Amino acid sequence: MKIKIHLVAAVVATLCISTFFTATILVELFGSKESIATVKNLIVTPGLFFLIPALAITGISGFNSAKNRQGRLISNKQKRMPFIAANGLLILLPCAIFLNQWAATGTFNPQFYIVQAFELLAGAINLSLMGLNIRDGLRMTGKLRPSKAQ
């Protein structure tokens, strides 16, 4: 059960970040200022209300399930999680809030685009780290075979 909760939360968190990331790139490339403001608003509400709890549940359920386990896969997952959480809470969250406020008032100045670039970079880093945690999780549950090098 615990691991089902972990899996669902991990999938929701990863889907949130990948959706925010893709929607941001598409709307910045092809959308109007109004549609950028709409996407920035949707990322904050309801987006962050799904992402933050999903990330927290992923971490808590992961550490709980890991209590009596040892090995390289679990220790790598453990080491990545603080970066994923800090990146989410200290970078993605404030960036999303500022970008939403600026977009709502039509403030598309260089500052907006610097923070936007920074948010995309942080999102890409988190997606990579989460991808590695998914790979290692699936290897641990035997759903993915280890590569030959291991």
Q: Which residue is nearest to ligand HEM (CB)?
A: 137
Binding residue (CB under 6 A) for ligand HEM from 16, 40, 77, 116: 77
CA distances from 78 to 73, 74, 115 (A): 9, 6, 29
Residues in 37-66 that interact with ligand HEM by CB under 6 A: 58-59, 62-63, 65-66
Residues 96, 119 contacting (CB under 8 angstroms)? yes
Q: Could you give the CA distance from residue 98 to residue 131 in angstroms, rounded to a whole number?
A: 27
Residues between 103 and 132 that touch ligand HEM (CB under 6 A): 130
**With respect to ligand HEM, which residue has the nearer C-beta, 7 or 115?**
7
Those residues with Cβ within 8 angstroms of residue 115's Cβ, 6 or more apart along the chain or in another chain: 95, 98, 99, 102
Which part of the chain contacts ligand HEM (CB under 6 A), choosing from 26-34, 38-46, 69-77, 97-105? 69-77
**Can you tell me which residue has the tokens 């990545």?**
80
Residue 112 belongs to what H/E stretch? helix 110-140
Least distance (Å) between residue 102 CB and ligand HEM: 28
Q: Footprint of ligand HEM on this chain (CB under 6 A)?
A: 3, 6-7, 10, 13-14, 58-59, 62-63, 65-66, 69, 74, 77-78, 81, 84, 130, 133-134, 137-138, 140-141, 143
